[in-house]
Structure 1
């Protein structure tokens, strides 16, 4: 006859360790805190506003229309392509507000409300929207699966923002400030087209280089 201990028929349950109690089980980092994300956005907006200002202060090429050829549009497109539509818009808006407040960050080291009376007013006021359009179109370009297509599509995004926003607004400004016809303003505006093509080719290359060096910027584009 066999004997059994009371403990033999008793089933003992051992509580299982939760994922938080097992070191190394959680591999994904916690999501970024809203405060940290906001501070990063503010820093990027301020940085790219300063970048656009630096581009504007590069010696300009004078033209007969009173609107010089500058690197401002290059900085505007890069801000939109790198930061995305919202942050790019905010960065260029900050740049514009600082300049209108009197800080000499516009072309030829000018600033203040007096620039609104110049022939370049249309181009200048269009910059924030141009950055937003470049950012939105650039976001579409960066989501293309084939990496080889991203550079030409980023170029197209920059050119799209230039010719859909900057140049039409610039032509309106020329008409308003110079008293010329739309056809005459268009003839003046055509002078800036070759330079814009070159600047957008460079902007796309710079964007890819920056996003490759700082991949978190791409994940945070918005």
Structure 2
């Protein structure tokens, strides 16, 4: 009887440098979320800029952990969410899906760079796809949160409120994140 043995690839532990960079980008996401301009239902923040920077500098795996630690810090009570809010209620509230969408952005980036490499066009495409998934997931969450409370909200109306006004700013944030992080990577040992 012939049996094959599958060898599972061992999980690579974080290096000290990766832990420090992950913590640094967690802090950047927190600071960028506190800087907010209220516009309708959702404030304009620099969170997506910070997530784009994290993904482009430290990659999908470490970027994912930065996002997860950021969310965990907010859920346990540190005021790291928009408007210096905190608590699990922010995540479970109508706009929490957009924050959880950052996890999708990092997962898409991580998986995509493993499959297609880290060339600039691939990274840009993955960040755009991740942002679209973040918008979609967040909008579905938003609609569910509103309709759960007895209010009427359609997906199209939620897109008009929560996505369309933010697309130009997110495009600018993506471009700025790429320009800044590419320069940082040239001059730093990252």
Q: Residue 76 of structure 1 aligns with which residue?
A: 51
1:150-169 mapped onto 2 (5 Å cutoff): 150=120, 154-163=123-132, 165-169=133-137
Mapped contact 1:85–1:135 kept (Cα < 8 A): yes
Q: Give deviations 1:37-58, integer Å, cap 9, x for gaps.
A: 6222211111110011111121
Unaligned stretches of 5+ residues in structure 1 = 1-33, 145-149, 218-222
Cα distance, 1:157 vs structure 2: 3.3
1:47-58 mapped onto 2 (5 Å cutoff): 47-58=24-35
Q: Residue 204 of structure 1 aligns with which residue?
A: 178
Is the strand fraction higher in 1 or 2?
Answer: 2
Asked if 1:88 is matched to 2:67, the reply is: no
Instruction: State the aligned residue count.
Output: 172
Mapped contact 1:81–1:135 kept (Cα < 8 A): no
Q: Residue 46 of structure 1 aligns with which residue?
A: 23
Question: In structure 1, what is the Cα distance between the partners aligned to 2:113 and 2:32?
Answer: 21
Aligned CA distance change for structure 1 residues 141 and 203 (closer, same or farther; 3 Å): farther
Q: Which of 162, 166, 184 is the aligned partner of 1:192?
A: 166
Q: Give deviations 1:43-99, integer Å, cap 9, x for gaps.
A: 1111110011111121x12122x2111101111111111111111100111011001
SS in 2 for 1:187: helix
Question: In structure 1, what is the Cα distance between the partners aligned to 2:181 and 2:129?
Answer: 16
Q: Residue 13 of structure 1 aligns with which residue?
A: none
| Structure 1 residue runs of 4 or more that deviate by more than 3 Å after TM superposition | 134-142, 152-157
Cα distance, 1:160 vs structure 2: 2.2
Unaligned stretches of 5+ residues in structure 2 = 1-11, 148-152
Question: In structure 2, what is the Cα distance between the partners aligned to 1:177 and 1:193?
Answer: 22
TM-score (norm 2): 0.81
